[in-house]
Structure 1
Amino acid sequence: MTVAESVPVHSPVPPLAGRARAVGGSPVRDILAVTARPEVINFAGGLPAPELFDAEGIADSYRAVLAEQPARALQYSTTEGDPALRAALAARTTARGLPTGPDDLLVTTGSQQALSLLATALLEPGDTVLVENPCYLAALQAFGFAGARVVPVPGDEHGLDPEALEELVVRERPKLLYTVPTFQNPTGRTLPADRRAAVAAVAARRGLWIVEDDPYGELRYEGERLPWIASRPGAEDRTILLGSFSKVMAPGLRLGWLRAPSELRRACAVAKQAADLHTPTVNQLAAARYLADHDLDAHVRRVAGVYRARRDALLAGLAGALPEGSVWDRPEGGMFLWARLPEPYDTTALLPRVVRHDVAYVPGAPFYAGRPDRRTLRLCFVTQTPEEIGEGLRRLGEGLREGAAED
């Protein structure tokens, strides 16, 4: 046998699926990796403040569950979710104005999984999805992996325009509308009550699923709480409401849920069986125990009070940091503020120069499904103290001025 005969011939391995090649990673996570140095004041993340986690209360709940029912906590569970947790979630949802029973809910591994399950259950490749413009980035990724055609709905400083929505529904025949109507990511905007009613009416008239994502709604600092779109007349049988503990308890628990009409909920449960069988049992039991033994609402009020002071610090310093002619929103809650610089600023091009000053933001361009506004940027204000925010804005102003001078 010759040497050539003894060496196996290596043919190329089959390629990745087209959806894996077509959908990129998260620019936000890429920025966080680049700016992970401790000296960087990072307005780029979407992370809740870790020092505000009720770590002891959560630890108490885990200890109680593992001491009292270790076999159940460490065993497989039902796909739909732990009954005690679903009962507690149903009670909280009902108390907020949307009558809900435990069987209306499916527990998911974070609300991000709920998006993936809905994409699997509802979307065929080539189906059209309508989104806000700009839109939560990971939703764009989930719909992109499903092979959907994503179309942005025009809007203004108050959110999407219901008249433009109806025109697009008639023209594009979409499967669903995805919206974060309260303290939206990335803009921090809240859709007014009249527009919520109008969106529900469009869905009822035209035959449309609404996916209403609400991870930030409990983090309200001022103003009155607005009813969910899911509670509006005409939307009852066509709205999927998504919730999460990530921003109000802890994201590491990876606990979310969806509330959906029965047929769609069952389809999502089947998709979840294929994905992960069920969300970790011990996490579900610990969360249910926490809700039983602790006052989550009081904890959220404490967190919101701290976040409000941080939002106010950001608002107080923006005028001195951003170039003249910039505009920004005043969020009533949530975690994010959206700003638009004047022409000819390009926040993507400027970011590497700003990072040299040990401060970071997220450029707005990746959040757009259509043509991006390259003057925009997102600032997360909840993970820094007011003093750190002031210093971060000083650095941001220096970086923007230096970057503009280099251009």
Structure 2
Amino acid sequence: MTAFARRAERIQPSAIREFLALAGDPGITSFAGGYPDPTLFPMGELHKIYDDLLTPDNASALQYTASDGLPELRAQVAARLTADGMPSTADDVLITQGGQQGLDLTAKLFVDAGDVIVTERPTFLGALIAFNPCEPRYVSVPMDEEGMDVDALEQVLRTTERVKLIYTVPDFQNPTGRTLGLARRRRLVELAEEFDVVILEDTPYRELRYEGERVPSVKSLDTSGRVVHLGSFSKILAPGLRLGWVLAAPEVLEKLSLLKLAADTQNGTLNMRAAAAYLAGFDIESHIASMLPTYRSKRDLMLRTVAEHFPDGITWTQAQGGLFTWVTFPERLDVAAFQRDLLIPRAGVIVVPGAPFFAERPEAHHARMSFSGVPDDRLVSGVRAMGGLLREALS
């Protein structure tokens, strides 16, 4: 077939999608997907809620509803955002199909072919997948332990034409786990003001902090409505609900709502009703707090086991929250080839090679490893086996 639109050339297979297909094999230990621990889902509460909703008296739970999201749920999300330093009402919130749809809609709204999106280096692969059909150019900004280097960002903004969007995951970034410091957040907003650029703030891991002080969101520092803030219930309730949200200025939100209407009409009413019932009838803050010790323990176990079994010359990040550590190997190791030739066939272990997380100039000697969805015994055995094969490959 030759009739594809030009944008279809930018639609490429996702490395994560390919590896997640392997993750369903019970013989595979997967550090690839950023899956929450399913034992932490509030199954009992959700079971009761769905039982109550799926009755004749609640037939409206299976009916169409407002395209921008169930009004009750939007008000509940707005209340939580307000408590997090982002004053808002239901009219400021759009409910989306997870955070991923927020990425897709925002790119469609702001980015023309040839426009520049500035990303962190490395950045979230799923965002690149969402942005690519809009045919942008990318410029990436290096990171350190305090997140995006805003001095380097300033240089990019001074020397690059047609910058439309700065994309950041400021809290426990995917893939590195790093957090953008408060001073840098303030400078990021100042630079966006100076150069008239939109900031897209993606925060799916924001509430999964295991240690340290909570940092104000980038949106909370916004005084002119140029920050589009994305959030999600995927990591704090359940990803299968496919519920996220956008908080944005009225003129931005109106157009995003129309783009969503064109894309899918609305989110599923049943799941929105279930989430609203959960927020009304149960304490989600207590639920989130109850998850954190488990994730903290898993993070500590992975980092401790990596330190014990990986050979010298390998480094990794130590995130204060989120679901990932970013591992950097000697430059001579191509992680994708190592995984294909040794790690999968001999250990039954998968990670996500780092190259696809680079918007430009990919580097092959990194990997993203997730600790969140792996049972402790398999986490230890998988890291140990990986360490043995690394010693062999690097010897």
Q: Shared fold (TM-score greater than 0.5)?
A: yes
2:31/2:351 contact within 8 Å kept: yes
The equivalences for 1:8-407 within 5 A come to: 13-67=1-55, 69-172=57-160, 173-234=162-223, 236-352=224-340, 353-356=342-345, 357-404=347-394
- How many equivalent residue pairs? 392
Report the alpha carbon displacement of residue 183 of structure 1 after superposing the two structures with TM: 0.5
Residue by residue, what CA displacement relative to the aligned partner does 1:132-162 show, whole Å, maximum 9, x if unpaired? 1101001011111111112111222321111
1:323/1:342 contact within 8 Å kept: no
1:354/1:403 contact within 8 Å kept: no
1:143/1:150 contact within 8 Å kept: no
Residue by residue, what CA displacement relative to the aligned partner does 1:270-305 show, whole Å, maximum 9, x if unpaired? 111110011111111110000011111111111111
Task: Give TM-score scaled by structure 1 length.
Answer: 0.93
Report the alpha carbon displacement of residue 49 of structure 1 after superposing the two structures with TM: 1.1
What amino acid is the match of 2:380?
G
Residue by residue, what CA displacement relative to the aligned partner does 1:350-373 show, whole Å, maximum 9, x if unpaired? 111111211111111110011122
Residue by residue, what CA displacement relative to the aligned partner does 1:167-193 show, whole Å, maximum 9, x if unpaired? 212222311101000000000100111
Report the alpha carbon displacement of residue 69 of structure 1 after superposing the two structures with TM: 4.8
Residue by residue, what CA displacement relative to the aligned partner does 1:67-122 show, whole Å, maximum 9, x if unpaired? 37523211111111111001100111111111111100001111101111111111
CA distance, structure 2, for counterparts of residue 69 and residue 336 of structure 1? 44
Following TM superposition, where does structure 1 have runs of at least 4 consecutive aligned residues deviating by more than 6 angstroms? none
2:92/2:248 contact within 8 Å kept: yes
Worse overlay, 66-75 or 104-113 = 66-75
Pairwise CA RMSD: 1.4
Q: Which has the larger radius of gyration?
A: 1
What amino acid is the match of 2:231?
G
Residue by residue, what CA displacement relative to the aligned partner does 1:20-79 show, whole Å, maximum 9, x if unpaired? 233211101101223432122111111111121111211222222333752321111111
CA distance, structure 2, for counterparts of residue 146 and residue 233 of structure 1? 26
What amino acid is the match of 2:188?
V
CA distance, structure 1, for counterparts of residue 363 and residue 229 of structure 2? 29
CA distance, structure 1, for counterparts of residue 57 and residue 92 of structure 2? 26
Match in the other structure for 1:4: none
**Structure 1 residues 35 and 277, CA, compared in 2 at 3 Å: closer, same or farther?**
closer
